[in-house]
């Protein structure tokens, strides 16, 4: 189907109005029910087979299926409707405004723009009477921003597909990999004492300062020796420090929390074991030091890396749809952030790419927006790939 026919079937105005409606519905992480129910009603009005999955009380995922005329492959378009908090915003979060060909509002970029484009791609297939086999499945979930519970729950319930595209703000690049995430706590134990005699105690905060300095200068640089041809080397960030009880007492405890971004093939045991071995060497140097590493209490599930070979038919197919449907480069890239692609591909063995309108640089920001040219082009790219796969034009294993 040529691009002019697609643009006549679904106009940019329709997609923009749909995104406005989605932005107007607050869905900050933990309070997503209203937008899920709104999407359920929309799916039913579009004639999709519609299901709700109660991930947690009042936090449903919504799945809509557009069936083809014959059995065949199942293609899943999926992303999340929960958003980041609005406390830091410098614009009205739920009053979408268009300025300079951008739509502003919380969730416009991350990831309601992808939701709007994915829905309108299904509408396009309906309106053009596309003769396809199999199913186009739209799966939109809560709790991607915090614990990825939505997609995890759908996988546990047997919702699956032959291929999946995760809608995240990739600036219209085709994402074929990202590093995993391990949340790490290092705990140092000291000895409390009255602050009038600090030399009689062991200050855990001061000990932690020495530990962090040593890690930064001696151990973390070894991560650069690990290398993946596309994902590079692991990186680690110190994000939180908590220690002490009051100013007039020598601190007897201190915890430093790190987020490490991991490569395929690395295991949690290896990651923690390497750090503990280094801490053991530090303790051998300083008998007063007591330091141990563990998974952070906030990490209730392991977040694994995701990687697809860049010449996989799915990666190449979406890239080609970018060129064919929108005249875009369809550049193939790895992404710096973690998303649900790991749960779909690494954990559930569904070939997956990340692709969507918007820039990650403005996701979660004080002034979140989406470029409207990207938003509307995404509709035709999603539709083109669905047609190429489900109508049998694309050769896949």
Domains of the chain: 3-178+305-390 (3.40.630.10), 180-295 (3.30.70.360)
Tell me how many degrees the CA angle 360-364-365 measures, rounded to the nearest 5: 90
Q: How many CA atoms lie within 13 A of 99 on its CB side?
A: 9
- The predicted model scores a pTM of 0.93
CB atoms within 10 A of CB 295: 15
DSSP string, 129-178: T---EEEEEEEEES-TTTT-HHHHHHHHTT---SEEEE---BTT-EEEEE
Residues near 143 by Cβ (< 8 Å), separated by ≥ 6?
A: 29, 30, 32, 55, 56, 59, 80, 82, 149, 150
Q: How far apart are CA 7 and CA 280, in angstroms?
A: 63
Q: Tell me what pLDDT residue 396 has.
A: 41
Q: Long-range contacts: 216-219, Cβ < 8 Å, 24+?
A: 218/278, 219/274, 219/275, 219/278
User: Is residue 295 classed as helix, strand or coil in its secondary structure?
Assistant: strand
Q: What's the N-to-C CA distance of the chain in angstroms?
A: 24
Q: How far apart are CA 126 and CA 204, in angstroms?
A: 64
Q: Tell me what pLDDT residue 300 has.
A: 65
149-167 core/surface letters (b: 16 or more CB in 10 A; e: else): bbbbbbbeeebebbbbbbb
Average pLDDT for consecutive 10-residue bins of the chain (397 residues)? 85 97 98 98 98 98 97 97 96 97 98 98 96 97 94 97 98 98 96 96 98 98 96 97 96 97 94 98 97 87 92 98 96 96 97 98 97 98 97 53
């Amino acid at each position: 189907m040529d691009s002019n026919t697609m643009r006549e079937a679904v106009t940019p105005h329709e997609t923009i109005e749909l995104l406005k409606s989605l932005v107007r519905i607050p869905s900050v992480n933990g309070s997503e029910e209203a937008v899920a129910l709104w999407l359920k009603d929309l799916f039913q009005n579009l004639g999709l087979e519609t299901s709700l999955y109660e991930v947690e009380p009042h936090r449903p995922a919504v799945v809509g299926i557009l069936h083809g005329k014959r059995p065949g492959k199942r293609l899943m378009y999926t992303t999340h409707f929960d958003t980041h908090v609005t406390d830091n915003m410098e614009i009205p979060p739920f009053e979408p405004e268009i300025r300079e060909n951008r739509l502003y509002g919380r969730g416009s970029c991350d990831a309601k723009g992808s939701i709007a484009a994915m829905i309108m791609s299904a509408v396009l297939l309906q309106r053009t009477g596309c003769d396809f086999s199999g199913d186009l499945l739209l799966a939109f979930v809560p709790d991607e921003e915090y614990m990825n519970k939505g997609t995890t729950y759908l996988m546990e319930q047997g919702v699956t597909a032959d291929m999946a595209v995760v809608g995240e703000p990739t600036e219209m690049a085709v994402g074929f990999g990202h590093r995993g995430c391990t949340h790490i706590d290092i705990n140092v134990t000291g000895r409390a004492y009255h602050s009038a005699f600090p030399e009689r105690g062991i200050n855990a905060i001061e000990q932690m300062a020495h530990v962090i300095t040593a890690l930064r200068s001696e151990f973390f640089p070894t991560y650069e020796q690990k290398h993946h041809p596309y994902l590079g080397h692991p990186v680690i960030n110190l994000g939180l420090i908590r220690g002490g009880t009051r100013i007039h007492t020598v601190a007897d405890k201190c915890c430093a929390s790190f987020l490490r971004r991991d490569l395929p093939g690395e295991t949690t045991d290896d990651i923690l074991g390497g750090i503990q071995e280094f801490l053991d060497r530090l303790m051998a140097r300083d008998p007063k030091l007591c330091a141990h590493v563990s998974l952070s209490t906030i990490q209730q599930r392991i977040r694994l890396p995701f990687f697809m070979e860049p010449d996989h038919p799915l990666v190449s197919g979406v890239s080609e749809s970018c060129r064919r449907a929108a005249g875009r480069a369809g550049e193939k890239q790895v992404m710096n952030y973690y998303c649900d692609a790991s749960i779909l591909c690494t954990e559930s063995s569904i070939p997956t790419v990340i692709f969507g309108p918007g820039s990650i640089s403005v996701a979660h920001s004080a002034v979140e927006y989406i470029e409207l040219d990207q938003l509307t082009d995404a509709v035709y790219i999603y539709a083109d790939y669905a047609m190429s796969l489900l109508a049998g034009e694309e050769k896949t294993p």
